[in-house]
Chain A
Amino acid sequence: MMETTSSNLEVEARAGGRRTPLLSQRRFWRSVGDHTVLWLGVLFMLAPVLLAFLTSTHDAVTIHRDGLQFLPGDHFGETYEAVLFGATGFTGKATGLVMTFNSMVLGIGFAVGKIVISMMAAYAIVYFRIPFATLAFWVIFTTLLLPLEVRILPSYEIVQKMGLLNSYTGLILPLIASATGTFFFRQFFKSVPDELLEAARIDGAGPFKFFVDILVPMSKTMIAAIFIIMFVFGWNQYLWPTLITTDEGYYTLVRGIKQIIQVWVGANIPEYGQAMALAILAMLPPILVVVVFQRWFIKGLTESDK
């Protein structure tokens, strides 16, 4: 191993002057190759959405006649106005604006609820010696094992029995019933040095004060990171809102997609433009959050996950 390396080096050294341009040329072509692969990747990710957006700026007849559009059209205003203020559903309650509002409520409500509840639980688990602590731990963390999808039917029945269909509570609470957040904050709290708690005790802070004065403000970055992940997760919920909300006044944007598909199937000339506009509207806020708070987002994703 060593020998080959050193002999290679010798060869290179002997070749001297001629070697350098050759080497840099090879490096250049390799870098061109790298960038080409990356650009193909970017194209793969970007093209469908770009196409969807461009198409959404044309009117339905054009699209139906000529297929998807590769250039911007002049129906941007009309299409988006129709989607935002016009009714997508049957009762007229589900305008784009209403759905955006509902999506916000779901995204923010879910993220905030999850963070508050899981921070409190994690604090109790990490910082207190209580009987049944291990039991509590397992009761909470077993929920990591089973996604909502596999217990969807009985979950629906319980929410129905509680009279929470078509309500924000029914929409949000059952989604919170998983321990991802608690697990994440537990990990973080465990990494907080013990001395901080000791210093706080000497400074006269009790358990509640320590939580409010020290631990919560210290977790700011963590909270931001987890908020972004949870907001996107909540905003993007599909199956659960589809089951829980039958009243169109509670439709979220993502739930609205199903509506479009249903209307679409029967239509002669489907409203491709408006469908795409709604899709763009549904993806815009989470994309903005992820791109703008990129650093926190990556931190939250790679440090928290399940």
Chain B
Amino acid sequence: MKRVIFGSSWLPYAFLAPQILIVIIFFYLPAAEAVRASFYLENPFGGGSTFVGIDNYKDVLTDDNYVRVAKFTFWFSLLVTFFSLAIALLLAVKADTVLRGAKSYRILLMWVYAIAPPVAGLIGVLMFDQHVGPITDVAALFGYKMQIGVNYNDTAAAMIIISIWKQVPVNFIFFLSGLQSIPKAVREAAQIDCRSSWRRFWTVTFPMLAPTGFFLLIINITYALFDTFAVIDVVMKNEPGSNPMTLVYKVYLDGFRGSDLGGSSAQSVILMALVLLLTIFQFRMIERRVHYT
């Protein structure tokens, strides 16, 4: 808190009002509505809805399709998070070591950040296209017929690879700035204490990057859960069919296409709980981190 604080009567309220108003109308009302709707069954022929308690949740959680989507979401998030972090870390460490061209590498590796996920999806779709895609051609050389949008596994692979591609730059930027903030004296001390650069990395550099890495872990899980929506939407070309999809996509699908308001809302609430859990976990870890830095 600031030492000298203004005592003006109206100014702070006037300054706070727009933000509070927007947040209430476009955040709290919808969130509350989602919770409310999750306990009701919408009458399909219009004219009100009936309270059904936790039936919507029961239906959702026992639905085979939902369980399948949840499983896919888990593996999808795991793979996207792991590979985008690993690739970014490798590139950041290398970009941090090279003396020449470090700046050029930085630009060349980070600009993809600016590409919108659906645009990335579109380019990816083209790469994997059955007629013109070079990746499909390469797969054909090995005798494999890739069929995006038809074969479940092929489609899933494309979604995962495109999502990783889109996420590497963010992680790269954070890892690099984390590496660059390690004090020179610490690196020099490590150089004197330890000859092997491999060991040096795992015993000194990596632990010092841990806070960045942990922060990125949360960011990446959130990304995989929510921001990949557009990639998935574009890759399946608007035809969900039996294609793989994530939980968020199913919320959208059931709500807007299937008009299952209650079910979609229940799914929303489950996702909200998931995000909340993640956030609490994050705060816990940050708190603990404070102790040993």
Nearest CB of chain A from residue B142's CB, rounded to whole Å: 17
* Inter-chain contact A254/B119, CB cutoff 8 Å: yes
- For the complex, would chain A's binding face be called helix, strand, loop or mixed by DSSP majority? helix
With contacts A145-B276, A257-B119, A261-B237 known, is A150 near B34, CB below 8 A? yes
Q: How many residues of A contact B (CB 8 A)?
A: 101
Residue among B2, B106, B118, B268 with most chain A CB within 10 A: B118
With contacts A48-B123, A67-B131, A150-B34 known, is A207 near B275, CB below 8 A? no
- For the complex, would chain B's binding face be called helix, strand, loop or mixed by DSSP majority? helix
Assess whether B13 is interfacial by the CB under 8 Å rule.
yes
* Inter-chain contact A207/B27, CB cutoff 8 Å: no
Residues of chain B within 8 A (CB-CB) of A128 are 5-8, 11-12
Residues of chain A within 8 A (CB-CB) of B19 are 117-118, 120-121, 140, 182
Residues of chain A within 8 A (CB-CB) of B170 are 301
* Inter-chain contact A38/B105, CB cutoff 8 Å: yes
Stretch at the interface among A78-86, A92-100, A216-224, A279-287: A279-287
* Inter-chain contact B11/A208, CB cutoff 8 Å: yes
* Inter-chain contact B256/A153, CB cutoff 8 Å: yes
Assess whether B229 is interfacial by the CB under 8 Å rule.
yes
* Inter-chain contact B90/A37, CB cutoff 8 Å: yes
Assess whether A19 is interfacial by the CB under 8 Å rule.
no
A contact set with B: CB distance below 8 Å: 1, 5, 8, 31, 34-35, 37-38, 41-42, 44-46, 48-49, 51-52, 55, 63-64, 67-68, 117-118, 120-121, 123-130, 136, 139-140, 143-147, 149-159, 173-174, 176-179, 182, 190, 194, 197-198, 201, 206-208, 210, 232, 235-239, 243, 254, 257-258, 260-262, 264-265, 272, 275-276, 279, 282-283, 286-287, 289-291, 294, 298, 301-302, 305-306
Given contacts A117-B22, A121-B20, A239-B233, 8 further A-B contacts (CB under 8 A): A48-B165, A68-B133, A120-B19, A139-B20, A144-B279, A154-B33, A155-B30, A258-B238
9 sample A-B contacts, Cβ–Cβ < 8 Å, listed by A number: A45-B112, A45-B168, A67-B133, A127-B12, A139-B20, A146-B275, A179-B23, A276-B126, A286-B114
